[in-house]
Amino acid sequence: MSRLDLLDDPAYLAFWRARHLCTVSTPRPDGTLHVTPMGIVLDADRAFAWGITSRTSVKARNIAAYDEGAPVAVCQIDGRHWASLEGVARVLDDPESVREAEERYAVRYKVPRANPQRVALRITLSRVLGRAPEEH
């Protein structure tokens, strides 16, 4: 099985469409991990994951410290079912990327509140793992 095969699994994709909060783990400057809750949306067609946050958040600052993007992991869990995404995250502040991230977030969660400091986090996926509920 390829590291991205689950992106073609209908049950895995359905689990990512359902409303679940996630945790995102980002590396701090000292190499330890910062883990925080976050809403993440899977873009399986392009092997991306998207999130929104304030440019001043610890996670955004941790990611922005890496010129070529930071290694991150995202996880969501519901009982014995879980899914994780690994890849390289970048902070994007151009209006088009922020708008795309906001629109994707609104579909899975809700329309985000106004935030003039908002940035998009885009993760280029390198590995997906999980155990999703069977589709019926």
- Mean pLDDT across the chain, nearest whole number? 96
Q: Give me the pLDDT at residue 1, please.
A: 55
pLDDT tens per residue across span 8-65: 999 999 999 999 999 999 999 999 999 999 999 999 999 999 999 999 999 999 999 9
State the Cα–Cα distance between residues 15 and 83, nearest whole angstrom.
8
Distance CA 127, CA 105 (A): 21
Quote the pLDDT of residue 134: 83
Over 90: is that where the pLDDT of 2 sits?
no
SS3 for 22-68 is: EEEEEECCCCCEEEEEECEEEEHHHCEEEEEEECCCHHHHHHHCCCC
Average pLDDT value for residue range 81-109: 98
Q: Are 40 and 24 in contact (CB under 8 A)?
A: yes
Q: Rounded CA gap, 42 and 8, in Å?
A: 12
Cα–Cα distance between 63 and 122 in angstroms, integer?
10
Average pLDDT value for residue range 91-115? 98
15 CB-near residues (< 8 Å, 6+ apart): 76, 78, 81, 83, 130, 132, 133
Determine the straight-line distance between the first and last CA of the chain, rounded to whole angstroms: 23
The pTM of this model reads: 0.95
Structural domains of the chain in order of their starting residue, each with its CATH number: 5-131 (2.30.110.10)
Give the C-alpha separation, 56 to 46, whole Å. Answer: 27
